[in-house]
Structure 1
Amino acid sequence: MNEEPNPVNEQDIVSRVKAYIYAHYSEPLSLALLAEKLGISSGYLSQIFHKTVQESYIKFLTRVRMEQAAKLLKAVPLEKVYDVSDKVGYVSVKHFSHVFKQHYNMPPGEFQEKYMSAQRGN
């Protein structure tokens, strides 16, 4: 991320934050860290992010991580859930499984099995 932002252009700030999240979703990320990288306050970043994206920073980050997890579970059906959890930025596989189940209405293992059986059926 560029260290010298133009704080006047909210769209530019949000675009850079989104790009950073997509590039670094597997790392520990916080609103404070992103705001610091841009040289703005986390309160301001939170406000403009929500206004521009129509969802909170944490919901956006969670959605990105869940979409990446689903891609991994589909692409590598034998991948261990704890490995997928780690690859998408979760320290706790229990927390990852809970969030995944909320997002997809099924636990990651069941999601994985569903895609393995669908691939076998083709």
Structure 2
Amino acid sequence: MMNKSIENLYVYYRNIDINFHKSDFFIHSHDYFEIYMFHKGDCKYLINDHVIQLHENDIIVMNGSALHGPTPTEGQPYERTVIEFSPEWMRSIINQLNVPEILTPFDQLGNILLRDINVQQFEEIHSLLQKINIKQLNLENSAKKSIEKRMLKGEITTLLIELLFILYALSKSKLTSMPVGNTNKMKHVNKVITWIDYHYSQNLTLDEISDHLHISKYYMSRIFKDITGITVMQYMMQRRLLRSKYLLEMHPEKSILDIALESGFESASHFSRKFRKHYQFTPTEYRNRDDDDKPSNTLINHFS
């Protein structure tokens, strides 16, 4: 079951599929960070060009920009928990706490498999996931007062940050952490992504990006599409849209033009066209909607 009471956080807690076909699941990418926990079944997981045979209680920490997806064996129940959250939203919180490092396991495309976690740590992680799910359900299924909703959202965010601290610590351990996909092509794509993440608000061309990174434009374009499934310019547009969505939600005092320019768009009209095409709402419509009505660009359950 998916819960999305906080617009920037999506929880799929212990989802189980029984009668399914392999074709029901898709390889995909998205602009959220993802925590995937495998509970039961017989499942291989693809991340870029790497295939992982999952073990019970495996956890994968992912940057959603990587092509990824499961291929569970038909005839066996497939159970997993997935959390997706907005990088922009979480960075704004952890930067105020002065702990930006806890998102490093998700940065770039350095996806991490956590395996053979000790029982105490695993139970702590599972308990946090369960608490997040329960509080999300409470938030979603009750007509609470505004202050109660704010308190619940604060509790959910605090639990997620606690989870991120644990995953960060585990990612530093060579006993449980295994990088996935550390090839030369991946390293080049990581450099492109990192550079774009710091410069997407500028008016950039492929030539300028390749010149700054000292890499052939044609090679860069080819390997980026091979690894992520989208083009360099599509990724840059995703980053701009994600930034603008965050600014619309968190800064009501900013004008549409200010948000457009700050996010890297040429004009308010250019921004509005791209935003509406991606989210099916204009920026103004999106800003004025209630939280529960805001469109989700997350993935349907069978993607995970």
Q: Same fold (TM over 0.5)?
A: yes
Superposed displacement of residue 23, structure 1: 1.0
Q: Find 2:253's aligned residue among 78, 81, 95.
A: 78
Give the TM-score normalised by the residue count of structure 2: 0.35
The aligned counterpart of 2:283 is 108
Deviation larger for 81-90 or 28-37: 28-37
Superposed displacement of residue 44, structure 1: 1.0
Q: Distance in 1 between matches of 2:215 and 2:245?
A: 33
Q: Which amino acid counterpart does residue 60 of structure 1 have in structure 2?
A: Y
Higher helix share: 1
The count of residues paired between Structure 1 and Structure 2 equals 110
Superposed displacement of residue 118, structure 1: 4.1
Q: Distance in 2 between matches of 1:81 and 1:73?
A: 8
Deviation larger for 47-56 or 26-35: 26-35
The aligned counterpart of 1:64 is 239
Answering whether residue 221 of structure 2 is matched by residue 46 of structure 1, we say yes
Q: Distance in 1 between matches of 2:188 and 2:206?
A: 13
Superposed displacement of residue 54, structure 1: 1.0
Superposed displacement of residue 66, structure 1: 0.4
Q: Deviations over 1:32-85 (max 9, x none)?
A: 111112222211110011011111111111111101100000001232000000
Q: Distance in 1 between matches of 2:194 and 2:245?
A: 20
Q: CA RMSD in A?
A: 1.7
Q: For structure 2, list consecutive stretches of 5 or more residues without a partner in the other structure.
A: 1-182, 293-304
- Greater C-alpha radius of gyration: 2
Q: Distance in 1 between matches of 2:190 and 2:291?
A: 37
Q: For structure 1, list consecutive stretches of 5 or more residues without a partner in the other structure.
A: 1-7
Q: Distance in 2 between matches of 1:94 and 1:26?
A: 16
Give every structure 1 segment of 4 or more consecutive aligned residues whose post-TM-superposition deviation is greater than 2 Å: none
Higher strand share: 2
The aligned counterpart of 1:30 is 205
Q: Distance in 1 between matches of 2:270 and 2:213?
A: 29
Q: Find 1:97's aligned residue among 272, 279, 284.
A: 272
